[in-house]
């Protein structure tokens, strides 16, 4: 596959739920990293320069506990940003960015509420844009970091995992029931069939 190409593939792993692997965008050069299943992200720590992403690190919820992932890449960028998500109501719905000379030169993160970034270059080059809609389908990140000739480390590829919707409502009644309104509440009394007078 051409270094700038990215595609859609399905990954099966008996030890984890079935997920769809989207991407990666970039070159796949360098050391791989993978955070499959890391979906409940609360913070993203981004070290970057004017045209490169130097490191990514994530804080996420696991078994009701905050966990810090290992750092992918190396700190050393001129800038450092923290993306704070208002978990659990705010969640990732997509990523976008630029690819330049086999590295990710800019990265933008989108949630169901807002957009963060771009981090890195403000100049549009060859771009990528992975969108999941507003459903909670995000299943984690993966990618590669590359040590460049000048000794700096840069994000060279990034992709996402998609956790397909597993429950499909079978009727309008099920969709209304899925709204989880307390039975007997004033609002629930007005959903569904009207009472006979």
3-state secondary structure of 93: strand
Q: Break the chain into its structural domains and give their ranges.
A: 20-162
Q: What is the CATH number of domain 20-162?
A: 2.100.10.30
Q: Which residues, 6+ apart, have CB-to-CB distance to 3 below 8 Å? A: 26, 27, 28, 29, 102
**Which pLDDT band, with edges at 50, 70 and 90, does 174 fall under?**
very low
- Sign of the torsion formed by the C-alpha atoms of 85, 88, 93 and 95: positive
Burial profile 95-129: b = 16 or more Cβ within 10 angstroms, e = fewer: bbbbbbebbbbbbbbbbbeeebbbbbbeeeeeebe
Tell me what pLDDT residue 125 has: 73
Question: CA-CA distance, 17 to 35, in Å (whole number)?
Answer: 14
- Which among 26, 1, 195, 37 has a CA at the least distance from the CA of 125? 26
What pLDDT is recorded for position 46?
Answer: 98
Residue 26 has pLDDT above 90, yes or no: yes
Higher-pLDDT residue of 157 and 172 is 157
**What does the DSSP 8-state code read for residue 128?**
E
Q: What global pTM score does this model have?
A: 0.76
Q: What does the pLDDT read at residue 126?
A: 77
Instruction: Provide the pLDDT confidence category of residue 99 given band limits of 50, 70 and 90.
Output: very high
């Amino acid at each position: 596959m051409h270094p700038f190409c990215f595609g859609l593939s399905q990954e099966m792993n008996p030890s984890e739920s079935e997920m769809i692997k989207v991407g990666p965008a970039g070159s796949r050069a360098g050391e791989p990293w993978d955070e499959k299943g890391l979906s409940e992200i609360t913070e993203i720590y981004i070290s970057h320069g004017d045209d490169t992403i130097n490191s990514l690190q994530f804080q996420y919820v696991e078994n009701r506990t905050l966990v810090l992932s290992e750092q992918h890449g190396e700190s050393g960028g001129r800038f450092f940003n923290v993306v704070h998500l208002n978990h659990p109501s705010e969640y990732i719905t997509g990523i976008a960015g630029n690819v330049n000379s086999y590295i990710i030169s800019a990265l933008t993160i989108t949630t169901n509420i807002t957009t963060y970034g771009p981090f890195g270059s403000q100049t549009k080059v060859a771009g990528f844009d992975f969108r999941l809609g507003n459903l909670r389908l995000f299943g984690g990140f993966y990618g590669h970091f590359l040590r460049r000739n000048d000794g700096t480390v840069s994000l060279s590829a990034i992709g996402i995992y998609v956790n397909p919707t597993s429950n499909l409502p079978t009727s309008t009644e099920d969709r209304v029931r899925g709204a989880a309104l307390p039975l007997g509440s004033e609002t629930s009394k007005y959903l569904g069939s009207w009472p006979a007078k």
